Amino acid sequence: MQNDQARSIKRTLEVLEYFDEFHPSAPVGEIARELGYPQSSTSILLKSLMVLGYLAYDDKARTYRPTARVAMLGRRIRPYFFGDGDVMAALNELNERTGELIFIAARAGLSIHYIYVVPALNPLRMHLRAGATRPLVSSAIGHLFMSTLPDEEIARAVERSARQNPKEQTADLPSVMKAVRDIRQKGYVLSDKTMTPGGGVLAMMLPHESGGEPMAICLGGVGSVILANAKPFVTAMREAIERHVSAKPAAPAENLA
């Protein structure tokens, strides 16, 4: 029963993210095909969202579209993302300066969720969909989030992950702490050991005081390109955060790996 409920919730959110990422409106068949759902259950889901006021249906075009109610869901955090600059401006600036994929990550329990994605501009690029997840204790961005936690809480998270995923090879505490100490010293994570083969990532935490919820701004692309451009990318990210998000001066880009 719980699995059915979780699947239903997941599909609901993926449908709303599909509209946000791809099209302002779409027919049932397209949504079912693109998200890999049965068309019958997709039709039921869309009709339910229409009854609740989150979607509207165009009889002539036979398409669904989000209503203003969807836009109002994030109204309390909207100023943080869409106010006078802030996070969206930082994402766009970083995207234009580097040409790479830029995204926002947030923590949910033992997972990291990618909640907003700005596609890369470069012809040689990596692709990522909003809604993708990564494990907290065995991913580079997960280690970035763990670097903000007390050591005791990190140990509990590693233990909990091993207990909940006994059949999967999860990171051990010494290796996690080594990564965490490195991130604490540098103020960012830089890695070409990502879950995407050949990929690389650079990420920094956003200031907590700006939005309340811990989030990270991330730059992703071809691993060799990210490492080769580490210094200018770190500088660009720090400057974008300082200019649009943080009230505090950004730390100098030095001691780069």
Task: Determine the Cα–Cα distance for residues 113 and 107; give it in Å rounded to an integer.
Answer: 6
| Residue-number span of the structural domain to which 54 is assigned | 2-72
The pLDDT tens digits for 151-179 are 999 999 999 888 887 766 678 899 999 99
Q: Are both 17 and 116 inside the same structural domain? A: no
Mean pLDDT of 39-68: 86
In this structure, what token pair is assigned to residue 3? 């699995």
Q: Are both 161 and 214 inside the same structural domain? A: yes
Residue 216 sits in a domain of what CATH number? 3.30.450.40
Mean pLDDT of 222-244: 94
Q: Are both 91 and 53 inside the same structural domain? A: no
Q: Are both 25 and 122 inside the same structural domain? A: no
Final residue belonging to a domain, choices 34, 55, 72: 72
What letter does residue 26 receive in the DSSP assignment?
A: B
Residue 257 confidence (pLDDT) = 45
122 pLDDT tier (thresholds 50, 70, 90): confident
Q: Residues 141, 113: contact at Cβ < 8 Å?
A: no
Does residue 49 carry a pLDDT above 70?
yes
Residue 250 confidence (pLDDT) = 44
Q: Are both 44 and 146 inside the same structural domain? A: no
Does residue 248 carry a pLDDT above 50?
no
What letter does residue 24 receive in the DSSP assignment?
A: S
Does residue 51 carry a pLDDT above 70?
yes
The pLDDT tens digits for 58-84 are 878 889 988 767 765 665 555 555 544
> What pTM did the predictor assign?
0.71
Final residue belonging to a domain, choices 72, 102, 126: 72
In a domain, 257, yes or no: no
In a domain, 44, yes or no: yes
Residue 212 confidence (pLDDT) = 57
Q: Are both 57 and 102 inside the same structural domain? A: no
Residue 6 sits in a domain of what CATH number? 1.10.10.10
Residue 238 confidence (pLDDT) = 96
In a domain, 253, yes or no: no
Name the one residue in this structure whose structure tokens are 């501009």.
121
Does residue 213 carry a pLDDT above 80?
no
Number of domains, the chain: 2
Final residue belonging to a domain, choices 38, 72, 106: 72
What letter does residue 122 receive in the DSSP assignment?
A: S
Residue 73 confidence (pLDDT) = 67
